[in-house]
A and B are shown apart, each in its own frame.
Chain A
């Protein structure tokens, strides 16, 4: 069981928007603005797409956006494209022995 809770799957049609939630606790998401999101295509390494809740690395389209409310973070992808299909993971710092926690991952299907 992963430390952060994500839906197992989401889907959407090209051009639509989807949101993936990531629920943690007051020891991780609720305590820090150090939430990151990663995209992973099959057989590839994860790629950072959002850091510090809502910041985008250079080269990541502004169709990807992040937010946080309380103990829950969210990733929104607007204008879905076929290449957005893949697995998405959230991550947060956590106080205590386990420094970094990940969500279980969400499989995005573009219909």
Chain B
């Protein structure tokens, strides 16, 4: 079964740091570009970051640029999101998402909750 499982969400104080992980199973992570998408409580989806299949290309939303870093370990089949200088507005459920190509976000994890307070 193709699956993504996020972990690492927690309650953290403003200014703190957190690293999210996303374990992939049922497919070869190294074959796909990957995204992080977040959803603040009671609100809509917001794209956060994308990484190329080999990890050499990364892109960020302006709201997290310079504070967040996306990375991957294809040997371990794990995607990461390092979050620094956290703010209250970063509070959200964070989803890792597989990109099949052409904005075809076809596999989503169950999400992990980050609360900054």
Residues of A near any B CB (own CB < 8 A): 2, 32, 34-36, 38, 45-48, 51-52, 57, 89, 91-93, 97-105
Instruction: List B73-117 residues whose CB lies under 8 Å from chain A.
Output: 95, 100, 102-106, 108-111
Which residues from chain B contact A46 at a C-beta distance below 8 Å?
Answer: 45, 95, 108
**In the complex the two chains form, is B44's CB within 8 Å of A103's CB?**
yes
Given contacts A48-B106, A89-B45, 18 further A-B contacts (CB under 8 A): A34-B102, A34-B103, A36-B104, A36-B105, A45-B95, A45-B109, A45-B110, A45-B111, A47-B108, A48-B104, A89-B44, A93-B103, A97-B62, A99-B50, A100-B35, A101-B47, A102-B44, A105-B45
* Interface size class of chain B, counting residues whose CB lies under 8 Å from the partner chain: 20 to 34
Nearest neighbor of A46 in chain B, beta-carbon distance? B108
Can you name 12 A-B pairs with beta carbons within 8 Å? A34-B102, A36-B105, A45-B110, A46-B95, A51-B102, A51-B104, A91-B45, A91-B47, A100-B35, A101-B47, A102-B37, A102-B45
